[in-house]
Homo-oligomer: A and B are copies of this chain.
Amino acid sequence: DFLQALNEVKPAFGVNEEDLELCVRGGIIHYSSTIEQILRDGSRFVKQIAEDKNTTLLSVLMYGPDGSGKTALAGTIALRSKFPFIRLISPNEMIGMTENAKIGYIDNAFRDAYKSPLNILVVDDLESICDYVPIGPRFSNNVLQCLKSYLKRVPPKNKRLLILSTTSSYTVLRQMELIKCFTNKIPVPNLSNITELQAVMEKMNFLDEEKRQYIVNQVSNNLGTDKLNIGIKSVVSNVNTARFDDDPINELIDLMSEIQI
């Protein structure tokens, strides 16, 4: 049951759980082996930073399309680590802050992390933290330079830090020369075929097997292919919308067929 996945990620003691739990509150649906692989890679980095003396800093970038589940996965890895210090740095916390206030906020989080022996910082949506917008393009260079320094900065003696960052703009980060600040990178893909869609419906207990099969067949027919390219976030949202609808079956078929366009 995918709701249990959510429950088993609560940490032992005081970290800012609430914020992180909002990130993962839809839970993690294991709709393909890639999801398992990402979580396994994540827990390997958690172990490495905890146990390997030669590694005091790991900065991992989780990148993928909009709504592919990056934030939920990063949050899950962080919460499962049960490290004493886990913190989320997110654009949501910095709405309306001046550049300086943002830098102060980030600075604070890292300095706090440098005080504890074993730390995870989830730095969500890097391009939004930098106020990036493609028109121009414009962004806060000061915040960017701050991130650049901290992503590479070795923590002081006897402190270890795992940074889990997310982005849906890999190319932008490369142009900003942020990519080269990471020691490791994990891709987070969209759903890629109707089998994965079927798995999501099943895990969400949406209707019965036969109806799910019918939906999948119809979507496949409409699209003229078995391939999909849609984020888990939209799929979950569409299933919820359909559940609420008078005619859930056709509503979901419509929503899934339309999005692909």
Residues of A within 8 A of B (CB): 22, 25, 47-48, 51-52, 54-55, 66, 91-92, 95-96, 100, 103-104, 107, 128, 131, 133-135, 137-139, 141-142, 144-146, 148-150, 153-154, 175-177, 180, 183, 237, 240-241, 243-244
CB pair B91 A96 closer than 8 Å? no
12 additional A-B pairs beyond A55-B241, A95-B146, beta carbons within 8 Å, are A22-B154, A25-B154, A47-B244, A55-B237, A91-B148, A92-B153, A96-B103, A96-B142, A133-B144, A133-B177, A134-B175, A135-B175
- Identify whether the interface residues of A are mostly helix, strand, loop, or mixed: helix
Copies in the complex: 6
A104–B97 CA distance with the chains assembled, in angstroms: 10
Which of B95, B100, B142 lies in contact with A107, CB distance below 8 A?
Answer: B95
In the assembled complex, the CB of A160 is this many whole angstroms from the nearest CB of chain B, namely 13
CB pair B134 A177 closer than 8 Å? yes
